[in-house]
A and B are shown apart, each in its own frame.
Chain A
Amino acid sequence: MKQKKSIGTVFKNGIFAENPTFRLVLGMCPTLAVSTAVFQGLGMGLATTFVLVFSNFVIALLRNIIPDKVRIPAFIVVIATFVTIVDLMLKAFIPSLSESLGIFIPLIVVNCIIFARAESFASKNSVLLSITDGLGMGLGFTLGISLLSACRELLGNGTLLGIQVMPESFQPMAIALRPPGGFIMLGILLIIINAAGKAIAKRKVMKAKEAEL
């Protein structure tokens, strides 16, 4: 039974309902590793989005041609191609970002988000929907990693995007830039976002009940 999905729903899905960072909790490795500054976080997010959109596009195009038994190697070849493109582009045009992200750019190949979307969405849906899904998921991921990076950079450095935001007397919290701080910050963000999500859902239900009466 094929369900009619609209482009709008699919796009919003990736950002809110199934946000890869806060709902699906996928792609944690790059999220925790490179979110020490907003510049890095944004860069990683946008690079991943690029790879997501294009790999979803190609896999959706080829979805009826790739045999089921070899789909995993096929997906990886497609994804790796686009990651190589991103890698070379970053080396050429934004070398500082390429240096600071380091090994995490080639590791986009094994980012769970890209593989999960290829497996569960792009191989089963039309090209247009798959591109939209890739865009939505990628932007959701970018939003997530950027939010985390903003918190960590603010607390750990006092800056945002390199610009001093906190007052001079602010003593930065060194642990925020280290892995334990990353885990703790991510946990706190998850609490806030999930609590907010629950409260919003609850209010929706109550409003619907009131409308009935």
Chain B
Amino acid sequence: MQKKLIVSPGPHLHNHAVSTQRIMLDVVIALLPTAAAAVWFFGGSALMLMIVAVISAIAAEYVYQKLTHQPVTVSDMSSVVTGLLLAFNLPANAPWWLAAVGSFLAIILIKQLFGGIGQNFMNPALAARAILMLSWTGLMAANVLPHAGQWVAPLAADAVSVATPLTHGAEGFTLWQLFSGDVPGMIGETSKLALLLGGVYLLIRKVIDWRIPVSFLGTVAIAYFIQTGTLYSVESGAHNVLYQLLSGGLIIGAFFMATDYVTSPITGIGKLIMGVGCGLFLFVIREFSSYPEGCSFAILFLNVLTPLIDRFTTKKPFGFEKPTAPAKEAKA
């Protein structure tokens, strides 16, 4: 028997290859190499932090939406992405409750209280990292040496901390170490190789736009080239372009954090402006402030500027012509 016909407004064809869930799944897939690298270098701690962060994020979203009688949207996987990104911003010896609190802050405070998915005014994972950094500075600053390939059980909170590649006066990190991730740092930030693999995957799948990563990295490269004049040399230590590009949270920030849809401009030119702005801010923070690393602050600052950038970079409709005075008179 013929089922009843559906009548709805057009268009009647839809692109089923993309959906919010599919996009989030692609991001999770892109983050898998980084997760693997995190476990390879930091062992049990990394695994524990990732699991706690993701589960807390999902739980936070579920509980909040249930309490406020809203439809539960956990299945769109955006909280999984937030939880994972937050975990990647924590040091290996962070206690489990830091990950849980961070996830709750990110999901409830930054995302849900402002209207849920699509309405957050800052990148949730980065904003939560900033709050954690200001609240428990000691716990967030401690960094441990990576144990490449050795399985290490979750670390105690007071493990010995060492200097990261960007701490002033740090020496002895080779380019390969920086690139592969054999350096101290936040568990998801260190392995640039894994991050770039994920970034390229996202670019191929057209999940992220090339403009933000390219303009962000490009601006930082140009700024450091102007300052140091060297692309790379062993003698210059940390003062060359490649070392700076491969240190700190720049790569993860450029590909995974700054490209968050909601908090980056919707226009093409706007995206370029954001990349340049982030790059400049990062340069200023790294060189002229007492913080060794400032990627999260740079991105957060541009997140807040995004609505303004959008307003000034919207294109006029195709074929728009400024009405000239005679035409105005003719119309009247």
Contacts and interface: CB of A to CB of B under 8 A. Distances in A.
Contact of A175 (B113, B134, B139): B134
B155 interface: no
Interface in B115-158: 131, 134-137, 139
A96 interface: no
A193 to B, nearest CB: 15
Interface in B174-213: none
Contact of A176 (B109, B113, B135, B139): B135
B28 to A, nearest CB: 29
Contacts of B135: 173-176, 181
Contacts of A77: none
Nearest to A187: B113
A184 interface: yes
A173 B136 CA distance: 6
Contacts of A176: 135
Contact of B136 (A171, A178, A180): A171
Interface residues of B, number: 9
B109 A174 contact: no
A96 to B, nearest CB: 27
Contacts of B131: 175
Nearest to A181: B135
Interface string A167-196: 000010111101011001000000100000
Contacts, number: 18
A174 B139 contact: no
Q: Which of A171, A180, A184 has the most CB of B within 10 A?
A: A171
Contacts of A173: 135-136
B134 A184 contact: no
Chain A residues touching B, majority SS: helix
B134 A171 contact: no
A175 B136 CA distance: 8
A103 B135 CA distance: 27
A178 B134 contact: yes
Contact of B139 (A171, A180, A184, A191): A171
A180 B127 CA distance: 12
Contacts of A180: 134
A198 to B, nearest CB: 12
Contacts of B113: 191
A171 B109 CA distance: 21
Contacts of B95: 171
A131 to B, nearest CB: 40
Q: Which of A175, A180, A181 has the most CB of B within 10 A?
A: A175
A181 B137 CA distance: 15
Contacts of B134: 174-175, 178, 180
A175 B95 CA distance: 18
Contacts of B139: 171
Contacts of B137: 174
A175 B135 CA distance: 5
B243 to A, nearest CB: 32
A44 to B, nearest CB: 25
A184 B136 contact: no
A171 B139 CA distance: 9
Interface of B: 95, 109, 113, 131, 134-137, 139
10 contacts: A171-B95, A171-B136, A171-B139, A173-B135, A173-B136, A174-B134, A175-B135, A176-B135, A178-B134, A180-B134
The 8 closest A-B pairs by CB, nearest first: A175-B135, A173-B135, A175-B134, A174-B135, A171-B136, A175-B131, A174-B134, A174-B137
Given A171-B95, A171-B136, A175-B135, 9 more contacts: A171-B139, A173-B135, A174-B136, A174-B137, A176-B135, A178-B134, A180-B134, A181-B135, A191-B113
